[in-house]
Amino acid sequence: MYDYFCSVSKFYPMNIKPLYNQLAEDVRFQEGMRACINCGTCTAICPAAEFYDYDPRCIVDSVQSKNEEEIERLLRDDDIWYCGECMSCVTRCPRKNAPGLVIMALRSLSQDLGYFTDSEKGRQQICLKRAIGDWILETGYCLYPRYISYDNHPEGGPVWEWKTDNIDAVHNRLGGNIDGEGVGVLRKIPQEDLDELKRIYEITGGMERYEKIEKYSAQKAEEMGLTMDEYIAQSYTGKQKSDIP
């Protein structure tokens, strides 16, 4: 026990729990981490592993080792942000582990501690928060077409540009009800429903999570010598400060 205390005390002040202990408090970790036998089935079935340098087997094995240095590396690295949370891993694991849930717990802890800003993919959390996150609370929709500009998605080509310029006509022709009263696709969500949604976020910790993403992203932007607009643009596009208009 003394040796274990000495091994982790160099990383943490007396009043901070070791990273593994913090992970172990997350119900997703408790449900997803049973007894990994390091067989690699999760990696074989993982769609993300096919396209990225991503190996859920290695991640679960690292966490299971309780190696504090390795867990901290994961929290600060790109690896944990490649998972699509499809849970294909759960369907194949012979020990009923859920690497996807372990990844969720790692992501949450990374955001809680601010470590996510140390990786390229992690820094994109501010883009998701400012887009999908804020859109949900403002409009009730995770994807709101009026906020998806062609300038930010030129890969959509001229057809997408035309659609964004003629959004009302397009939705009317397709039978939508964008921002309209009553029923229909993309109808206007009543303010009382949006207020209730925000209250759910407040009670469940969603708003606190948003605040942490904003706080740590602002700190990282200052550290990098960027304004928040420059930081978000660089995180979103990968462009350096000199390339940002």
Q: How far apart are CA 107 and CA 128, in angstroms?
A: 14
| pLDDT tens digits, 82-141 | 999 999 999 999 999 999 999 999 999 999 999 999 999 999 999 999 999 999 999 999
User: How would you class 205 by CB atoms within 10 Å of its CB: exposed for 0-12, middle for 13-18, buried for 19 or more?
Assistant: exposed
d(C-alpha 239, C-alpha 117), whole Å: 16
Q: Which residue has the higher pLDDT, 152 or 166?
A: 166
Sign of CA dihedral 185, 188, 193, 195: positive
- The whole-angstrom separation of Cα 69 and Cα 44 is 26
Question: How many Å apart are CA 158 and CA 45, to the nearest integer?
Answer: 37
pTM of the complete model:
0.85
Domains of the chain as residue ranges with CATH: 2-116 (1.10.1060.10), 123-243 (no CATH)
What are the angstrom distances between the C-alpha of 37 and each of 19, 64, 100, 105, 177? 22, 10, 16, 20, 52
